[in-house]
Every structure is written in C-alpha cells, then in structure tokens.
Structure 1
Amino acid sequence: MTEDPERELTLTQLLATRIRTADGRSLGRLRDLRIERLAPGSPVDRVLLGAGRGDRYVLPWSMLYLTPDDSVASTLRLRSEEIGSHRVVDAEPAPPGSGAVWLGRDVLDSQVVDLSGSRLSRVSEVLLRVDHHGAPVPVAVDLGVGALMARIGLRAAARHLPRVIVPWDDLYLASAGGHRSELAVSTDRLGRRDASVVAEIIARLPLRRSAEVLQAVPSSRAATALAASNRALRHRLVRLLPARRSDAPVVTHDPDSVTDGRRLLRTAGWRVPRPRRTSR
C-alpha cells in the first residue's frame, strides 16, 4: 500500500476497531498500538488485541493490514489466524520505561509541557498516517479541547473549536522510567525560546531533564532561566550541570532575597550566590 497523505487516522478511532480475519470474522478489538521508540518516523510495529474471555495478544503489525475502506470499523484485517503463540499473560504488554511506547497507555492523555503556551496540557488525540509499507506512523498530537470533546461524542461542538497540533518530531518523553508519561517539546527547539519560557519548563520537568534543557540552550539564556528559578531548584540544577566553557555565564543573585555580605560558591563551572557564614 502506498502512503496516502490525505488519509488521516486517529488513535481513538483505531482503538475502537475490530480486528477481523480475511473472511470478516471478528477476533476481538484493537486495544493499543506500539512503536519501538518515541522518534520521528517510527511506525507501529506491534498491536494489542483484546479477545473474548479477557485474553490478550501482542501481534506484530506485519500480521495485519489496513484496507483502503473509508469505514474505520472495517479497516483492520488479519493475514493469519495463528495468533495463539502471541498471547500475553501479564496485565500490561510491557512495563513503562522499557523503551517501547504504547500510544494508548503512554501518550494519549499524558501530560505535555507546552512551550508555545508556557503551560501544561494533555494529549487529546494522536494523529497517524499510513506509510508506504502500510503501517500507521504517528505524525502529531492534538492538545485541543475539541479533540477531547470528539472522543466523548460531542463531535458537532468539537468542529467549532480550534485544533492545537504539535508535530511528533517536536516531542520527547520527559518522564522517568516506570512513571506516568510526560512529554515535552524537543530540546533542539528550545534555543529559540525566551528565557522566561525555559524557566517555566525547567520548573516542571524532572531534575535531570531540566539539566538537559539548560545545556541545550545558549549559555546566556540558560543563566537567565536559572536566575528566575527558585533557589532550591537552582542549587540542585547547578550540581547536575557539567563544567562549562570559558565564557560560561554567571548566575547572579536576587537583590531582594540575598543580603549584603555574601560570597559566591563556584560549582561545576556555574556560580550561585550563598550567604556568608557568620561566627556566633
């Protein structure tokens, strides 16, 4: 099957789809789609099939195909009915943090650090296209309220609300392994952002991810973002940052919170104000 740039699939549509044999017999419903990693162009390589009696199967995508039908309810077909060896016993097909990303479990409804709006959002929908091999490929997420309303059946109202589309290659997994997923805009886009936005982001990301963000932006902007952060976070981040080049910025003190009579502690190439100890 060739790629159809005009054909957009949504994750929530696919998650309601029945998986059928070539002759149309239903084997169960699609419960989730897996990609090998959260990276641009990663196609779906596994699907989770929920069958009767609570049975669950993790099938390679190569066992299925999408028909060119416009009806989503009839788009998925099995090439082979030999699925017994793919049955899974565990409650989850793979634990969070294992590397693979399940779009329903790990992405849909996950928290997103939305740089463009300097706020937290949630993924309302995942948009996919079909590649030249016939596999769905995530291309974007929709953070808009309209997509969420469409999911609960309010499609007429949803059509009047704007979409908030974030391209897939702007995202990366920001949460630590084993925790509920959190996404953020890719660090290679951060260099264009204002320091106040960077400060907002590092306040919300896990500590090591925040350090990665500071290393990805220009030094002067990183210093300004650090200076705008609360003191406890600033000190913790400085200890994670590697030694910087000779033109490394100096993080200045807050004149309203640091008294006269102070000295600077230099840690790993970054300077952070610390009050001078006085003898008793």
Structure 2
Amino acid sequence: MEIIEVDSTYYDAVFSRPFHCFNAAAFNSLNGHKCDSIFHLIFRDTKIRLGIIFGLKENILNSPFSAPFGGFEYVNEEIRLQQIDAALEVLEQWAKTKKIQGIKIVSPPFFYKENFLNKVCNCLHRAGYGTTNMELNYQFSTHKLEGDYQATIWNNAKKNFKKALQSDLIFEKIDAEKGQEAYRIIAQNRKEKGFPLHMTWESVATTMSVIPIDFFIVKKEDHAIGAAIVFHVSPKVVQVVYWGDLSQYSEFKTMNFLSYNLFQYYKTQGIEIVDIGPSTKNSIPNFGLCEFKESIGCDISVKTEFFKSFN
C-alpha cells in the first residue's frame, strides 16, 4: 500500500460520491482558512482503495478540522480489513516523515455506513489509536412515523406535543433567500441559553454552495418563534445543524411541534434518518438536551474521537 498526496480537484474526482458531505474536498477547501494546511491523501495498492482529508492544526492532523465528523472514504464498499490496516500503517510512516505529532480522527455515528465504520473502528483500535472522546449522538428514524408517533415518545413529550397542537402554530419551509430569518431566531436562542453559535450567517450562506441546506420556521400568528437549519449530509440522511425557539414563547412547546414536523417533512422526501447531533461535549452530557431528544423518539448512537500521539 502506498500513500499519495493529491490536490482537491483530483480527490473529488476519485471520491465523487462520498458517503457523507463532510468528506468532500470542496467542502473542506471552503473551510481551509481554519487550519494551517490541508492534505488530501489517497491509498493505493493495485488500485485506489481509500482516501482521507486532514487539516493540520498545531502540528496535529485532524479529520475533520471544521465539521461534525470526517474519517476515511472508500472507492468500493468491499474494502478489506487488511487494506485498512495497510493504509493506517503507511499513514503513520508518512506522518512521522513530516514530523507530525499526532493524528485525530472523529468518525461518523455508525448508522451513516455501519459495516465500513465498524471495520475502521476495529482497525484504528488495533493500530494503537486511543478513544479520547465518546459523544452521544441522537437521530430519528422516519419509519417510526408509519405507526403511532405518540406511542414512541415519553409521557412528558406527549403532553407537550398535545399542548403544541392546541397552540395554532404554523410550520413553514422557507426559501434559502429568507434563510437569515431562521438564523436570526437560532442566534437569539443561543444567546438566551448561553450556547455558542460557531457559524456566522455568512459562513452558512457560503456553505450552501457545496451542501444543500433547508430552512424552516415556526410561527405563532405573524411571529416567527422557532427555526431549524438542516444540511443534506447523505442521500438518505439529513442533519439538524441548528434549531431553537424563543424563550418568551416556550409555553407553546415550540420545539415539540418543530421536531415532529421536521420528521414528517423529511419522511415525505424519502429521508430515512434525521440526525439531531450530539448532546455531549467532550463526552460530558447536557442532561436536559439528552432527555429532550430521547423523549421525542430519537435513538442514540456513539460518535467516537480517536487519537494517536507520535511523541
């Protein structure tokens, strides 16, 4: 197995249909200013088998360097364990020749590509990568809506959902040109709760050039009181990157209404999973968020951060 550095154009030509959007060179190039340099690496024996994109920060290779997750990409899903092992071996040799201090890889939750990601996890473990963080990720499978949704949610969520349905709320998908209205609501929500908002509106707007993004609002009469921004991460999975409501209207249980309508909308679009993202940071839970997401019917997966030091 050999490792080859290529440019972003060649990388995207080889991996023209990555299994998640954060593995595309175009997306990573858009965020290139957030790291010292970007490496597009491919792994080849008789043919190209794997690829990975790293951003160098403080002499550590990071995949991702500006996304929820990254990791390896394959050309053919019939990748063998021995080929992943060989790729990791030459990657370490290459990194050491460049005097890199370590490698950090955050894999997607397994539901994105279960067989492949399980193999990569095993190979990373055997190659000496330690687990430095284990985040709890929440996702909703839209097939649950084929039955009685309320049978899948907690009792407190049933009460809140009933209250929301009685509150004359309106769910609306808005055009991208009006997306800043959704962003404004989310920014206010984050400010009220003291949570960071990592993306500016300008960065959201720029990201639309490489990732399809949907915007939604919830209205009470003429007032927008809740919103969501959703990325199309893979053909059958969308990710709620941001959502939130305004605290002054919390009596209407806006988030229960918003979440249910998002699930319903994406089911009609043929989406199988709505990824709500993690409710832990550096493995520490936000207990309220964890309980809310589970209460509305989400399942839980693990998103693992791997690290290997060369010091």
Query: TM-score, structure 1 length as denominator?
Result: 0.22
Larger of the two Rg values belongs to structure: 1
Higher strand share: 2
> Which one has more relative contact order, counting CA pairs under 8 Å at least 6 apart?
2
Higher helix share: 2
Query: TM-score, structure 2 length as denominator?
Result: 0.21
